[in-house]
Every structure is written in C-alpha cells, then in structure tokens.
Structure 1
Amino acid sequence: MHAAPTDLSLPAMPRHYSKLYRELRAVEPGDYHRIIRMYEEQEQAIGRLDVEEHFELTVHYVDALFETGAYREHQLMVDLVIHASIRHDIRYMPGRQEKVFEQQLFRKAASAFRIGEYATAEHVLRELIRMHPEEPVYARFLRTTLFRQQQPTLQFGRAACIFCLLLTALVVTINLLVVQNFYPAYGPLMSWVCIDIFLVGMLALAGAYGLAYYRCRREATQFRAAQANKRRADSL
C-alpha cells in the first residue's frame, strides 16, 4: 500500500519591501515634517511602487499633513487615499486596528472643520453616521459642525446684545448728566431702566445661543436615531 501523501506545501514567503519603502518607513513616526519632506522629494518614485507600498506611504504622508496643521493640503490628498482604499479594497493598515477608510473619512471631516468648510464636514459626518449610527463621537461632531453653521441666529443675538449695551451706556450717561442734576426724583426709575435694558441684551445673547444649540442637538439626534432605526429594519 502506498503511504498517504504528506502536505509538503511551504509557508508563504515573507514579503519583499523595496528600498525606497524601507527608507521612508524607517523615519520616526512622529517626525511629521521629515515624512512630508521625504515623500514630496520622492513623490514620482513612490508613484511607481506597487499598490500596497504606494498606498501605505501615502497614508503616512496624509496623516503627517493633518498632524502638522496643513489642512488645505490634507483636503487635496485625503480623497486620493479614500478612493484608493475603496478601489483596491484595502481595509486596514499594518499596526493599526481602525479601518483606514473610516479613519481617513473622519480626518477629512476634521480638517474641513478646521478650515471652515462646514458643509463638507457635515456631509462626511452624515456618511459616517449612516455607516455607524451607534458611534456617539460622530453625532457629537455633527452637532458641533451644525452649530458653526448657525451664524445668522448667533449674529442676531450678538447684535442685539451689543445694541442693548450701547443703549444702557447712553441711558446711564443721560441719568448722570441730566436726570440726577435736574430731575433727581426719576433717578431710581432710570437705574431700573438701565438694568432692564442690560438684562434684555444678555437674554437675547443667551437665547440666540440656546436656540442654535437646541436646533443642532435636535437635528443631530434625530438623524442618528433615523439611521439607527433604518439599520435595525434592514437587519430584520
């Protein structure tokens, strides 16, 4: 009888990394300025690397742009990483637990927020909530982004407050120069008028900010709840 064939298959050979890749990955991870400089100096050569090496180096470059506050440059490059992760189905980076697609989306929203592109940040955050409605940080960030877009309401509150403060100063001046000298009997009344005008200004400011916060919190909460309900309905 013939003996059963044994499995002589060899384990997969370890991956060979290019010299350029090894040089760039040898840079200290926190030395963001050097990472940026070396990537930009070797950008054409990096573009000729295989997909995995090119993708990984580009992710480190994009992360370095974000960490150094180069948010506009980050906005230009992060979309390339996001699209590449989808096109090549790259879900994780070596040494990282979070999904690269979601991490880069979140950072895209953060950099857009930092440069005042709130509509872009809002759009990205809504997409993240659609994917993971159970993640509270996305809803909180969306609420903050929506709040920054409540400028008409906030400007009205600030303008009303400033007007009331100026009017209070005018009434105080009139009280000191005219009423106290010629109509002292009306002095207490004028003091109450000053207090009332001042309080109206403070209430207008607080009311504007409170209304803006309420609107943003309600919209973010309702959107998150709707996506969570949709996710549960789809799973049934």
Structure 2
Amino acid sequence: MYKPTYYSKIYRTFLSLDEMAFQELIHFFEENEKEIRELDFEEYFEVLAAYVTALFEVGAYREHLLMVDVVIETSISNNIVEYKGEDLFRRMLFRKAASLYHTRQFQKAEHVLAELLRMDREDQGAILFLKKCLRTHYPQIRSNAHAVAVFLFLLTAFVIALEVLLIRPFYEMHAKTVEVSRNSIFVIGILCILFGNLYHRLLAEREVRGFLKALRKGKQID
C-alpha cells in the first residue's frame, strides 16, 4: 500500500517561504535553529543550505564564513556531490572565496580558488577571481602611478594658469610651445594611470598563468 511522504511542520513552513526572500529565510532559520537541527537529515540539509545561501546573497559575509564550512563538511561526509542540479561542493567553495575576498582575507581566498583550479584547471570563474585577488598584491604600483599622474595634472593646471596670465598677454611668441608642453604633460599623466593599471593587471595575469602551467605539469604547489 502506498504511504505518502510526511514532512515535518517546520519543514512545511520553510517550503512556504519564497526562496528569493533571503532576509525572511535568515530570520526563519535563526528563530527556529534548535528545531531545525532536530529535523531528518534531508530536511535539515535543505534548510541549512538555503540559510547559508541567503547569508551570502544579502552580503553577510562574516556570518556566511561561519556557516559555509558546515555545508561543505556535511556534503563531504554524506557524499552529496550534486544538489539541485549543481556541484554543491564547488559552488560553496567559490562562495567561500568570495566571502573571504569581501572580508579582505585575500590570501585565504586565493588558497580556496587554487583548490578549485586543482579540481578543474579550466574553471574560468575561478581563474578570473584568482586574478582579481592577486591584483591586491601590488597596490604600491598602482598608487605610485596615480600619485605621479596627480602631480602631472596639477602641473598642467599650473602651466595653463601661467599660459593665460603671463604667456599669452606678454609672450605670445612662446604660446604654441607652452600649449604643446602642457598638453604633453597632461597626456603623460593619463599614460601613467593606464600603465600603472595595465602593469598591475599583467603581474596578476603572469602569476595565474604560472600557477596553471605548473598544474598542467603536475607540480605540487602550496
């Protein structure tokens, strides 16, 4: 005889919530955490995964970091590879890296992303994110380039003032030279910013290429 599946009351309440109502999901979990922990495993895990996802979606990154490892470890211990059509382990690891990044724990984020790339060297999301993390390694390059550019822009403004107040009224014959000079100074300032940003990115690109090359060769990388 067919016996219908029974769902607990608290799980039925959870199912009645809009899966996109993240604040409501967070409030529901935190109000009923004790009862949720006593649910059957399947029900408990679904509510837990929804809660952790909601924390991430609302930008509660520190709270997310406190709970995401629970989902990761539970999925490993219970051999949950695919969940709702997704690779749960990889998704949670990627979001853990994102939360680490947003809480300025850049090296830890890089470590998690490196683990993802060890699993799949072609993971473009992890590659792009790792480059973004690595760009935090070279702040001095970009800040120095921007400082030089600001100086050159101020110098341009000074030359313009000099040109308007002194050169054109009294030394018109030098106006063209001064005009070319201040335009050149301004362009060099723009180039400083572009070069600083580009070089900053190229260093991160080089590190990621080196890491992926080492993985393809089967080298051990910390």
**Amino acid of the residue matched to residue 43 of structure 2?**
E
Report the Cα distance in structure 2 between the residues aligned to 1:134 and 1:225, rounded to whole angstroms: 12
Deviations 1:49-88 (A, max 9, x none): 3444322211110111122222222122212212222233
For structure 1, the residue ranges without an aligned partner over 5 or more in a row are 1-9, 232-236
Equivalent-residue separation in structure 1 for 2:43 and 2:88 (angstroms): 15
Flag as ranges the 4+ runs of structure 1 deviating above 6 A. none
Read off the aligned partner of 1:73 and give its amino acid letter.
E
Equivalent residue number for residue 33 of structure 2: 43
**Secondary structure at the counterpart of residue 133 of structure 1:** coil
* Cα distance in 1 for residues equivalent to 2:148 and 2:74: 50
What's the TM-score, normalizing by structure 1?
Answer: 0.82
Instruction: Provide the residue aligned with 2:49 in structure 1.
Output: 59
Q: What secondary structure, in the 3-state scheme, does the structure 2 residue paired with 1:89 have? A: coil
The one of 18, 41, 49 aligned to 1:28: 18
Give structure 2 stretches of 5+ with no counterpart. none
Aligned to 2:79: 89
Equivalent position amino acid for 1:71 in 2: Y
Aligned residues: 219
Q: Paired residue for 1:185, among 173, 182, 192?
A: 173
What is the distance in 2 between the residues matched to 1:161 and 1:203?
Answer: 8
- CA distance in 2: counterparts of 1:133 and 1:104, whole angstroms: 18
Match of 2:138 among 139, 144, 150: 150
CA distance in 2, matches of 1:148, 1:25: 41
Distance 2:15 2:82 in 1: 17
**Range with greater deviation from structure 2 (156-165 or 19-28):** 19-28
1:217 CA displacement? 1.4
- Corresponding residue of 2:113: 125
Aligned counterparts of 2:4 and 2:218: Cα–Cα separation in 1: 44
